[in-house]
Amino acid sequence: MLKEKFAKLEEKIGYRFRDTRLLRQALTHSSYANEQKINKSGDYERLEFLGDAVLELVSSDYIYQQYPDMTEGKMTKLRSSIVCEPALASCAREMGLEEYILLGKGEEATGGRGRDSIISDVMEAIIGAIYLDSGIDEVKTYIHRVILSDLEHKQLFYDAKTILQEEIQKENKGVLHYELVSEDGPEHAKIFAVNAMIDKVIIGSGTGHSKKAAEQKAAYEALIHKTYIIAD
């Protein structure tokens, strides 16, 4: 059963592991390891540590090569937006990675499968696993394809709230704020709906598992449709 699931995930991520034990470890949360009485090294934490360092190196190299005129400060800001928790979780969800995480019953019951912190950790653990399995060239290809592709569009999404605030200040349109519209679902899996507003005018709407995520989507919608320009 797990072997079949892992094979499907390999198809989604576009990489076939030589040592599938690395993939299993990358997907194993400590709660599952504890329940199954797996040795501590059997969860993803050590692979996440390695993957975080590899991701920072590869993304730093990419930014340095692609943006020769960018200052150190702007490069640091761009890298931060690429490797931040919400950004990695978003990339992971595009391939449905959260469906494959091995969680203990307690963590599952409290909504761990939808938590950005866990999903992003697993994303970094997979990077570490690919690095150990095949080396820097293969993991670099993976990072470029999954995380660094269409970077300008992704940066707009990841930094939507900051960018929208800056644009509204330029336009002198009024005061940007976010209004919580609804909060549905059980405590461990709530869905928040939020409106981005200039004074009393709605310029964007978004939903998410946290207020912050919903606000980000609302801001992104306003930027894409440029509703903040026509708002009175």
Boundary residue ending a domain (151, 168, 195): 151
52/145 same-domain check: yes
178/79 same-domain check: no
232, pLDDT greater than 60: no
* 177: Cα within 13 Å, side-chain hemisphere: 8
Query: pLDDT tens digits for 58-69?
Result: 999 999 999 999
What does the mean pLDDT of the chain come to? 91
Number of domains in the chain: 2
The residues that are catalytic are: 52, 124
26/134 same-domain check: yes
Bridge partners of 196, per DSSP, are 178, 204
Query: pLDDT tens digits for 220-230?
Result: 999 988 888 86
**Average of per-residue pLDDT across 210-222:** 91
66/133 same-domain check: yes
Rg value, the chain, Cα: 20
Contacts of residue 174, Cβ cutoff 8 Å, sequence gap at least 6: 168, 198, 199, 201, 231
Counting every residue, how long is the chain? 232
Q: Name the percent of the chain in helix, strand, coil, to the closest 5.
A: 70, 10, 20
Q: For residue 187, what are the domain limits?
A: 160-230
160, pLDDT greater than 80: yes
28/94 same-domain check: yes
